[in-house]
Every structure is written in structure tokens, then in C-alpha cells.
């Protein structure tokens, strides 16, 4: 008795057949032979598979057919996630966010791929997310193949993988949100940079000492504390955990608009705050790698206490 099965596919025919042939080759160790016939029909290419020889394995013919379909489901789920998924994501972005420029759609696509954790398989969380999608698709395929001997992959994705497609839609939505936030951030930075460039510096130099807690101290070029007349309304050393000290620091620096900014203990600053200061003040910013101020007894004592 022969078991026949056909797979209809529009794209990635060679990739799919190559992977299936590789998987089916493993069955040859048990003498199981599977033949394939490739036929183009109505814009699709059908791969027809037949078990032409059950060999001398310990499996019954029914068990062999079940294994055969598991092999198909495993390969098809891999191809969907590793090949179709990117194309599906591109189509989702193109159809739903057509009002973005092509280069903006590409940026959104790149961000969405990161949300889907493409290219970071070594990361545990990325692997878990990939495995979750793989399991979802594999289970749907096994359910379908249990009662069907013909699979058209494009139709199966559209009508049977709605939950999986929803994850791609969510990744695209999150990517658009991230893109818009980044765009607004860049516009905001551009405005701050313009504001700093057009105003006269109130001080030639501002030195910033940053504690691990986020509290900061500002000194002038003579290592003197900057007077309150430049910082009216800024709370810089209250120790209040509700205060965002980095935002206060950036606001203070923009208000003073110094010709140069020296950051001491810059490793105590978040990447976000550091990037913002560098973006706004550009070449005016330098990071101190060690000086007498960095080893000041009082400030160093505070650092040790807070560590």
C-alpha cells in the first residue's frame, strides 16, 4: 500500500524540496524509500511524495505514515519561520503602514525583526520566543495533516495560522510605536541642539560628577560649585528616589549651555542620558578618565557608601 501526499507552494520550492529530501534521507536507514514528483499547476508547484517501500523497520505501515507526516510538518514549520516569516512581516507592514515612506517601512521592518528575535538565537529569551512560534505552527500542521493528504502552504498560513499571524501583526505594531518614539526623540534632540547652539554660554566649562544613585554635582572650570543663580529650580542633591536626576542634569546643562562639558564617573550614567548629552553637545563633551576631582575624598566616600 502506498501513502501519497502533495504540497502546493508558490515560492521557496527548491528550499522546501531540499529540506524535505534531507529529512527523508534519514528514513532510508530503515529501508524506507520515498519518491518525489514535482509538478507546476495553476501558479503553484506541487511536490508529490509517495512511500514506495516501507523497508524492514519495526514500524507498521500506519506508524510509518504518521512518522512521514511528522517529518513534513517539522520541515514546513521550519521553512515558514525561517523563510516565509520575513516575507509575511514585510507584507503586513506594506499593507497596514503604507503611509510611511519606503525607507521608513524598512526601518520598521528591521525593528519588528528584533522583536521577533531574528538573528539572536544564542539569547535564551530569543530562543524561547522562536520555539513558542515554532510549536504553535507545528501543532497546527500536525492537526491538519492528521486528516488531510494535501497541503497548500500559502492558504494554510492565511486560514489556519491566524494566531501565529497575530504575533507578526503585534511585532509590526510594536515596531511602529518604537519607530515613532525614536523619531520624536531625534526631533527633540535636534531642537535642544539648536537651542544650545544659538544661545551664549553662561559658563565656559561645566564639570559633572555623577554618583551611582544618579545624584550629581556641577563644578566650574576652577573646580568650584556652580552657584544657584544658574540652577534656579533644579534639585540636584536631595536624595529623593522619585526624582529623575538624569533629566534634571540634562535640563541644567541646556540652561547653562557651556562651551565644554566634562563628565566624571560617566559610567554611573545610563546609556540614554549619555547619548542625549553627546547628541546635544557633540564635540563639547569629554569623559574624564581619572583626575584629582575623581579622587576627591568626600565624593569618593559618597560613592563607596552608595555602592
Question: What is the full per-residue pLDDT of the chain (307 aa) written as tens digits?
Answer: 445 899 999 988 999 999 999 988 888 877 888 999 999 988 899 999 998 888 776 778 888 888 899 999 999 999 999 999 999 999 999 999 999 999 999 999 999 998 887 655 556 777 788 889 999 999 999 999 999 999 999 999 999 999 999 999 999 999 999 999 999 999 999 999 999 999 999 999 999 988 887 788 899 999 888 866 666 555 444 445 556 778 888 988 998 999 999 999 888 888 889 999 999 999 999 998 778 777 764 555 444 444 4
Residues 6+ apart with CB under 8 A from 55: 27, 30, 31, 32, 33
CA angle 112, 274, 243 (to 5 degrees): 95
pTM of the full predicted structure? 0.77
User: What's the residue count for the chain?
Assistant: 307
Residues 6+ apart with CB under 8 A from 286: 260, 261, 262, 263
63-71, Cβ contacts within 8 angstroms, sequence gap of 24 or more: 64/3, 64/32, 65/3, 67/27, 68/3, 68/5, 68/27, 68/34, 69/5, 69/142, 69/145, 69/146, 70/142, 71/20, 71/23, 71/24, 71/27
Amino acid at each position: 500500500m502506498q501513502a501519497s501526499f502533495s504540497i502546493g507552494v508558490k515560492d521557496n520550492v527548491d528550499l522546501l524540496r531540499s529540506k524535505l529530501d534531507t529529512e527523508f534521507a534519514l528514513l532510508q536507514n530503515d529501508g524506507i524509500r520515498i519518491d518525489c514528483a514535482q509538478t507546476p499547476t495553476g501558479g503553484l508547484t506541487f511536490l508529490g511524495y509517495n512511500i514506495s517501500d516501507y523497508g524492514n523497520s519495526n514500524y507498521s505501515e500506519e506508524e510509518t505514515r504518521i512518522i512521514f507526516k511528522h517529518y513534513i510538518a517539522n520541515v514546513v514549520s521550519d521553512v515558514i519561520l525561517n523563510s516565509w516569516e520575513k516575507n509575511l512581516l514585510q507584507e503586513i507592514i506594506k499593507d497596514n503602514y503604507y503611509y510611511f515612506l519606503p525607507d521608513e517601512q524598512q526601518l520598521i521592518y528591521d525593528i519588528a525583526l528584533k522583536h521577533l528575535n531574528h538573528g539572536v538565537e544564542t539569547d535564551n529569551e530569543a530562543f524561547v520566543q522562536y520555539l513558542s512560534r515554532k510549536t504553535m505552527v507545528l501543532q497546527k500542521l500536525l492537526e491538519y495533516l492528521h486528516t488531510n493528504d494535501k497541503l497548500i502552504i500559502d492558504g494554510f498560513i492565511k486560514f489556519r495560522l491566524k494566531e501565529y499571524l497575530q504575533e507578526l501583526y503585534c511585532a509590526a505594531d510594536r515596531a511602529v510605536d518604537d519607530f515613532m518614539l525614536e523619531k520624536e526623540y531625534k526631533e527633540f534632540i535636534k531642537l535642544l541642539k539648536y537651542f544650545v547652539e544659538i544661545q551664549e554660554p553662561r559658563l565656559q566649562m561645566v564639570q559633572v560628577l555623577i554618583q551611582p544613585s544618579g545624584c550629581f554635582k556641577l563644578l566650574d572650570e576652577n573646580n568650584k560649585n556652580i552657584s544657584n543663580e544658574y540652577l534656579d529650580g533644579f534639585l540636584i542633591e536631595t536624595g529623593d528616589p522619585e526624582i529623575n536626576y538624569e533629566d534634571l542634569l540634562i535640563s541644567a546643562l541646556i540652561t547653562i549651555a557651556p562651551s565644554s562639558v566634562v563628565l566624571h564617573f560617566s559610567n554611573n550614567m545610563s546609556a540614554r542620558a549619555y547619548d542625549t548629552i553627546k547628541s546635544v553637545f557633540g564635540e563639547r563633551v569629554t569623559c574624564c578618565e581619572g583626575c584629582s576631582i575623581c579622587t576627591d575624598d568626600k565624593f569618593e566616600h559618597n560613592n563607596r557608601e552608595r555602592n
